[in-house]
Chain A
């Protein structure tokens, strides 16, 4: 089954209106900000962003905010509970006639992978189970970026971070496999989950548009190529984001009521092309080529797509 966009078929359809304005304190070339900016074009400004501690906490730094929407910074571990409180309060106030219906806002949790994959998981699981009507936007840069790039549960095998260095005892860097948060969400049976990449802006805009039709928890995992943490020149943010998809490392997909569809069929170019662009994987190539580690990463990607192909043939 080939996934087809229903609305966004041409870049000129991308709304010109901005809701994330310039002048942010985030790094030049931030892939996460790129996704957020595109997402906000669909989400609009009738939004309250409930933020968890992370790089994006710097967005609203007194006295400046780049948003024409509302913002509430909570904690690292409980932004979804903050979303619960806001959503419930809005519902109650509207029901009691203390807030006009037209003043209602959409609740969007904004968290990094550190919060999303680990610390806020209890809070997230609770919110999904309660079928809270909210968006969860995770900018996934595969590390605790705001603290200076440490190993997070989203860090992939073979990546070097400051707490998973390439060392004599573990020359590969990170030894873990990236946690599959998409499947953890899917096991909770929310109505909508998607992965997005800013280098595929039409796919991103299409998914945010589609998600709006669903009441309940909606997850967006945004690939956040991170020049600072992944050690590449900021100019290559789009290339890293494109290659991550093309090599099959970051599948673009959605799950509607649990049914998974891959929204883009990648060429499955060798993962080396993707890895070589980034300083966090350089130790796999020099001073000595770590063939096994690279083969391991390629093997994981291949295994994933074999499962996908099998599922789509049989399903």
Chain B
């Protein structure tokens, strides 16, 4: 792979000589493929002869929680590491992430940042619902994934293809990178082919917005403030305000939500007993109620319900949390 790549001539017009770097930040939920997308983009850029760098960042959160991944592409050496604060392009795998403060999607976005959002809405429609200063483009990748791959969460190839198109990489490079990265993950050849087909479709279908390289500009020295000693009541990693995790909303983790049909509920409490998160409470009438800010959308309650009173609805509206 690498041997072939070294001889290749850089093709893109977006990527400039010198210190200019295209910085792409992917936002997804654990399991959606943001990390693999960042690798597909990195491998594709590398195969076209660019210098590339890709890396994920993990928090303590698990599958379903916000994750981000980064790809940098340049003609020369890349002298940056770690998180991307001022991205050229932001790729959002799940529109619900935009309103989730933990995801930090909007960080560093200004009017020159290109932003791609996986959404059935157009960029204009999305603009009316959420305020994002960047140049917005959208495509319903989830619909493509469900149609072509039969899975709602396997978005890596699609995200990689969209990002590759927007930064100006060739379709063949994406094709090759999808194959390589998914094979590395142990994905079967037949499924890789379906991913390549879906990726080509997204590569063609996405509406283009300009992506600008960024040059790191130093605004002068940052004011430093060395912390002072605190007594160990506060000077060690210690929590006395527990249980305080309940103030966090995990709504954004959901792709689907459980909805109770009270007329079908027999009041057995199986859903209450089996909710891992304790998001289901029992009302005074003995019937359960889902408290959505605490529901991660695992749908265990739907699965255990003996009367099918718990039904499933897809989360669509980014603001309806």
Which chain A residues have a beta carbon within 8 Å of chain B's beta carbons? 11-12, 14, 16, 18-31, 33-34, 37-38, 55, 57-58, 60-68, 71, 165, 198-199, 201, 227-228, 233-239
Contact = CB atoms under 8 A, between A and B. Distances in A.
B154 interface: no
A214 to B, nearest CB: 25
Contacts of A26: 62, 276
Interface stretch (B120-128, B160-168, B291-299): B291-299
Contact of B294 (A23, A55, A71): A23
Nearest to A235: B299
Interface string B189-223: 00000000000000000000000000000000000
B129 interface: no
Contact of B273 (A21, A38, A57): A38
A228 B62 contact: yes
10 contacts: A21-B245, A22-B246, A28-B62, A37-B278, A58-B62, A68-B243, A71-B242, A198-B273, A235-B298, A237-B274
A71 B239 CA distance: 9
Contacts of B70: none
B237 interface: yes
A271 to B, nearest CB: 21
A37 B242 contact: no
B276 A31 contact: yes
A10 to B, nearest CB: 9
A129 B237 CA distance: 33
B239 A64 contact: yes
A232 to B, nearest CB: 11
A65 B60 CA distance: 13
- Chain B binding surface SS class: loop
A238 B274 contact: yes
A237 B279 CA distance: 16
Interface stretch (B13-21, B85-93, B247-255): B247-255
Contact of A22 (B30, B268, B294, B303): B294
A228 B286 CA distance: 33
Given A27-B63, A28-B298, A64-B239, 7 more contacts: A25-B59, A33-B276, A55-B62, A60-B239, A60-B242, A199-B304, A227-B63
B243 A66 contact: yes
Contacts of A37: 275-278
Nearest to A13: B269
Contacts of A201: 273-274
Given A14-B272, A14-B273, A67-B242, A25 B31 contact: no
Which 8 A-B residue pairings sit nearest by Cβ, starting from the closest?
A: A29-B298, A23-B245, A22-B294, A27-B62, A28-B296, A235-B299, A234-B298, A65-B242
B302 interface: yes
Interface string B132-173: 000000000000000000000000000000000000000000
Contacts of B239: 60, 62-65, 71
Interface string B30-70: 11000000000000000000000000000111111100000
What is the interface residue range for chain B against chain A?
35 or more
B244 interface: yes
A101 to B, nearest CB: 23
B298 to A, nearest CB: 3
Interface centre among B247, B269, B279 (most CB of A within 10 A): B269
Given A29-B276, A64-B239, A58 B245 contact: no
A251 to B, nearest CB: 20
B246 A66 contact: yes
Interface centre among A33, A63, A165 (most CB of B within 10 A): A63
A11 to B, nearest CB: 4
B156 to A, nearest CB: 16
Interface in B257-282: 268-270, 272-279, 281-282
A67 B63 contact: no
A199 B59 contact: no
Contacts of A61: 60
Nearest to A24: B245
A26 B286 CA distance: 28
A34 B276 contact: yes
B204 to A, nearest CB: 31
